[in-house]
Chain A
């Protein structure tokens, strides 16, 4: 009886406590992130815009009313109208269709150049931060050298060696993204490395590869994600600048920067030729930056809600 009672009591307690976990949900990192992120209306709008852009990038060429190459010499430099929502350019091509198709190019270049940059930078940063000593010095001094160049100048230099073209723009932008990621990842590696749980894992005899992959790298991910997003905006801008200078996309590619470049001769006479591609660049870069800001606020544990 007593035994039964004893056995029953804790059971009762658990029964009483049962509703508790339902009320205070166990927060996974993802839901915690989402809870913080959705509070930021600006970032939310920017995020959905970015999603929309990605959708356009995927289906853009199929929903565009005209082909980006379709010329019509009868209606050159026509202003916005029902037929041509954003007007036509110097060859009578539909600017709306070209801007749509350009979305894919810009996002592709932005995404991949940062991806490669982040990849290289993260590897270098973790190596530098984890092993320290001379490896750290060598990597960081190389980064300093790269930092000494203004981004666009470095990119122009690289293009000068590789030759113009979109794929080379991706390489150029990746290269100058590497040191930035390397530095950020190195500093978070250093702080994560000094934490107790890493120390503990180390004393338990974990191998370096396990330490890095399972314990240190996850600790650096949040800063990489934030910077990754912010960086996409800059990369799109740089790629557009390079194309504007004639070093990136070659005609007739409907790249936004290239469209600006060829349209600048008509700035006085037909401003719509540069207005819409310019707007596209502006809004896209803004969206990525706002999204990055929001991500930072949501992922930074130091910021209390």
Chain B
């Protein structure tokens, strides 16, 4: 009798195998069609309350003290800045009516819109703006975004609706810094009342009002009935839920528990798109993926080794295997939609050339190195891919995935750059000012950007590139800046402090009835125009 049951068990395994074989080979053609035919009734939404599932926990609701794009996404429902970005990352006025920059990039004047009030009734005027900029500019406040405003010398309220900001030294990218979500305005009254605790009680001018935040569980915002833009907002409330597990997030969208999710895991994007009233949208972002190499350490101090590694990695395969095709080729240190981008000649996959360069550098037999990165499944996949690629030129990688806490301790609590243990690091960067300066300086801006101060995980310190970076900041004249950044990008591409991998796509998944909610190229969410159309 037992034999019988064992045989039938074997039979089941066998049948499942056949079934799986059938499923996977038919997938591209038959699978999808079959599904759409079975499309039953349309999915309806009741009420105007939506749920957005996101991948990580929110850290803070104080824009001045935030350095993750995700927290900004939630903050942007409640707070607004003088300037902002449109869908192409072009700077647009928000709370400001107009703005002016002096040609030497030292004095910036803003005219404010009239009649705007914070959620607590405080009027938005020059004085309120001054309080905010002063808070950011004061190093004693220890705010994470102080670095964007450290060059501010003074802020003056000229009249009720005019603000003048004067800088200590010219800073050409300042307009973009003002458009960065870090410069969003908090009610001065709330700042006084809550002080540091304002991170849990955000009061701004935005279309939604803060309701409740249970960290790790959910964050809820409600409609601002007295919003300054006419007929907005169109939703009653938005609930954000952090759901780190990719599969669960997708399931929430499929069951209707969430109306919008991001990011959609690239592995499942094709499978869920167009089914059960779900739409997946992907657009080029300004998020770059790279592997930085510690240029202070051997063998990465050798330019030829760095270039060889760039040649040894097949970027097309990276985009296909790791990103499932939802990525673009990276052809400069910054993404095409970043201001002042200029394309470079790419390092095309060429094992022979890589081997030749390694031989010239004296590493004919390769070497061993360790690569650090996050422990998310996508980062691990990328690191494993790099391991496979570099093994072709005898470079053996040891993968060390780390959770966020360990990583920040290992990378950002290094006092002496010479003692830094980091060798290779797989990471990504989203320059939320949309400007070349913020895309390069924090990552490759010489000694000032070394950890723990900033994100220069390549410990890259090149006199010429530092000079170009500074030069570009001396003026607000876009022509002059463009020229400097073009030279800079060519130089950095040649120096290759990173293995340049790809430019991400933003991946969002939503229900068909939800319109107007979208992602900016920096990966942050905008919901101002969100509405339900059935």
Contact B247 A246 (CB under 8 A): no
For A73, give its contact among B267, B317, B375 (CB under 8 Å). Answer: B317
For B387, give its contact among A80, A251, A262, A265 (CB under 8 Å). Answer: A251
For A272, give its contact among B20, B314, B398, B401 (CB under 8 Å). Answer: B20
Within 8 A of B (CB), among A242-270: 246, 250-252, 261-262, 264-270
Q: Which residues of B contact A73 (CB under 8 A)?
A: 314, 317, 320-321
Beyond A265-B265, A265-B268, A267-B247, whether A42 also contacts B2 by CB under 8 A is yes
A92 to chain B, nearest CB (A): 8
Q: Which residues of B contact A59 (CB under 8 A)?
A: none
For B13, give its contact among A81, A251, A271, A279 (CB under 8 Å). Answer: A279
Residue A41 lies at the interface, judged by CB distance under 8 Å to chain B: yes
Residue A77 lies at the interface, judged by CB distance under 8 Å to chain B: yes
How far is A79 from B377 in the complex, measured between Cα atoms in Å? Answer: 21
What is the total number of residues of chain B having a CB less than 8 Å from a CB of chain A?
42
Residue B384 lies at the interface, judged by CB distance under 8 Å to chain A: yes
How far is A81 from B18 in the complex, measured between Cα atoms in Å? Answer: 9
Contact A246 B271 (CB under 8 A): no
Contact B381 A90 (CB under 8 A): yes
Beyond A73-B317, A79-B20, A246-B401, whether A265 also contacts B267 by CB under 8 A is yes
Residue A38 lies at the interface, judged by CB distance under 8 Å to chain B: no
A91 to chain B, nearest CB (A): 6
Contact B21 A80 (CB under 8 A): yes
B314 to chain A, nearest CB (A): 8
B326 to chain A, nearest CB (A): 13
Residue B385 lies at the interface, judged by CB distance under 8 Å to chain A: yes
Q: Which residues of B contact A79 (CB under 8 A)?
A: 20-25
For B384, give its contact among A42, A45, A80, A252 (CB under 8 Å). Answer: A252
Contact B267 A87 (CB under 8 A): no
Contact B6 A251 (CB under 8 A): no
Query: What 0/1 readout, one digit per residue, does chain B (369-383) give for beta carbons within 8 Å of chain A?
Result: 000000101101101
Q: Which residues of A contact B267 (CB under 8 A)?
A: 90, 265-266, 269
How far is A77 from B3 in the complex, measured between Cα atoms in Å? Answer: 34
Residue B399 lies at the interface, judged by CB distance under 8 Å to chain A: yes
Q: Which residues of A contact B381 (CB under 8 A)?
A: 90, 262
Within 8 A of B (CB), among A67-91: 69, 71, 73, 76-81, 86-87, 90-91
How far is A252 from B396 in the complex, measured between Cα atoms in Å? Answer: 12
Beyond A81-B21, A246-B401, whether A69 also contacts B388 by CB under 8 A is yes
What is the total number of residues of chain A having a CB less than 8 Å from a CB of chain B?
33
Contact B380 A41 (CB under 8 A): no
How far is A142 from B391 in the complex, measured between Cα atoms in Å? Answer: 47
Residue A275 lies at the interface, judged by CB distance under 8 Å to chain B: yes
Residue B471 lies at the interface, judged by CB distance under 8 Å to chain A: no
Contact A264 B21 (CB under 8 A): no
Contact B385 A91 (CB under 8 A): yes
Query: What 0/1 readout, one digit per residue, does chain B (254-298) give for beta carbons within 8 Å of chain A?
Result: 000000000001011011100000000000000000000000000
Q: List 16 A-B contacts (CB under 8 A).
A: A69-B388, A71-B388, A73-B317, A79-B21, A81-B25, A87-B24, A91-B384, A251-B384, A265-B246, A265-B247, A268-B247, A268-B271, A269-B268, A269-B270, A271-B20, A275-B20
Write the residues of chain B forming the contact surface with A, with a CB cutoff of 8 angstroms: 2-3, 6, 13, 16-18, 20-25, 27, 246-247, 250, 265, 267-268, 270-272, 314, 317, 320-321, 375, 377-378, 380-381, 383-385, 387-388, 391, 398-401
Write the residues of chain A forming the contact surface with B, with a CB cutoff of 8 angstroms: 41-42, 45, 69, 71, 73, 76-81, 86-87, 90-91, 246, 250-252, 261-262, 264-272, 275, 279
Closest 6 pairs (CB-CB, A-B)? A79-B24, A80-B21, A272-B20, A265-B267, A251-B384, A79-B21
